[in-house]
Amino acid sequence: MPPGRFDPVQVVAVLSLKGGVGKTTVVLGLAGAAMQRNLRTLVVDLDPQANATVALRPDPSDASIADVLDEPRMSTLRRAISLSAWSDDLSVLVGSEANERHNHPEPTAKQLNRLDRALSHFLAPEDAEPDDEDEYDLVIIDCPPSLGQLTRSALVAADRAVLVTDPTIFAVAGVQRAFEAVQSERVHNNPHLQPLGVLINRVRSRSSEHAFRITELRELFGPLVLNGFLPDRSAIQQAQGACVPIQHWDTPGAREASAVFDGLLGRVMRSASRRELDAS
């Protein structure tokens, strides 16, 4: 593999248990940063709203993530994965409203493990060739803003979890519940899972309320709060509206956001390197 690539695949779940905080924005920004580094990336759109799928503009597919969770076989996966219009190195496990049927509030162990079973086909396959179409460096899972089967199955399948919030009172409560969910899945179902960090979105530097909430988050989560805050910039919404990576939106606000996503990807890569060292 070229320098800087992951071996084995790194699986990152992006979640929040409050809607509207910019969770999909982080998924798209992280995917764009990986694209800039030529990392072969798969975005898994677990959210039934399928906003990540819309923004990434994949080719038409014969199946979706809902079908994969019905039958987590390689044949179903290949029908549900399409190349994104953003890059030949970026693919999408296509989202669908039909995925809501899999979001059971009290899933069985078998239901929780279906996504992990499906993604296991990509995790350092023994017979993979250097240019194998089924080989990925990074898998990013966009979770729905609820704690049912879909989000929990993402945590069972993931190596790391990025918790997304904005600096408001209700979002702070949501990220607390998300952190507790990560810890619970780590104890009961996935001992390899670790929180990668808390990313604060839509920060306005002159807002005293935002400053207060950021201090509150740091008191709650300490060094897990990432130093790179995502600023409240119209460029982020403009790039999403145009369905292009923020890295291709040439404005000062876009460059500011891109730097945050590049830093987040760097943290993911360092985490993967530490995992390899621990395993050796």
Contacts 24+ apart (CB under 8 A), 100-103: 100/48, 101/66, 102/66, 102/69, 102/149, 102/150, 103/48, 103/144, 103/146, 103/148, 103/149, 103/150
Tens-place pLDDT, residues 21-34: 999 999 999 999 99
Per-residue model confidence (pLDDT) at position 1: 34
pLDDT at 280 over 50: no
96 SS3 class: coil
pLDDT band at 5 (very low <50, low <70, confident <90, very high): very low
What gap in Å lies between CA 264 and CA 123, rounded to an integer? Answer: 22
Please give the DSSP secondary-structure letter assigned to residue 266. Answer: H
Contact 139, 122 (CB under 8 A): yes
Q: 130 vs 3, which has greater pLDDT? A: 130
Tens-place pLDDT, residues 188-215: 999 999 999 999 999 998 999 999 999 9
Please give the DSSP secondary-structure letter assigned to residue 72. Answer: -
Tens-place pLDDT, residues 113-142: 999 999 988 764 444 444 455 689 999 999
Which single residue is written with the structure tokens 């905080």? 21
- Enumerate domains of the chain plus CATH numbers: 10-279 (3.40.50.300)
pLDDT band at 271 (very low <50, low <70, confident <90, very high): confident
pLDDT at 3 over 50: no
Per-residue model confidence (pLDDT) at position 266: 94
Q: 220 vs 2, which has greater pLDDT? A: 220
Q: Report percent pLDDT > 70 for the chain.
A: 90
Tens-place pLDDT, residues 216-265: 999 999 999 999 999 999 999 999 999 999 999 999 999 999 999 999 99
pLDDT band at 101 (very low <50, low <70, confident <90, very high): very high
DSSP string, 32-68: HHHHHTT--EEEEE-STT-HHHHHH-BPP-S--HHHH
Per-residue model confidence (pLDDT) at position 214: 95
Find the mean pLDDT for residues 34-43.
96
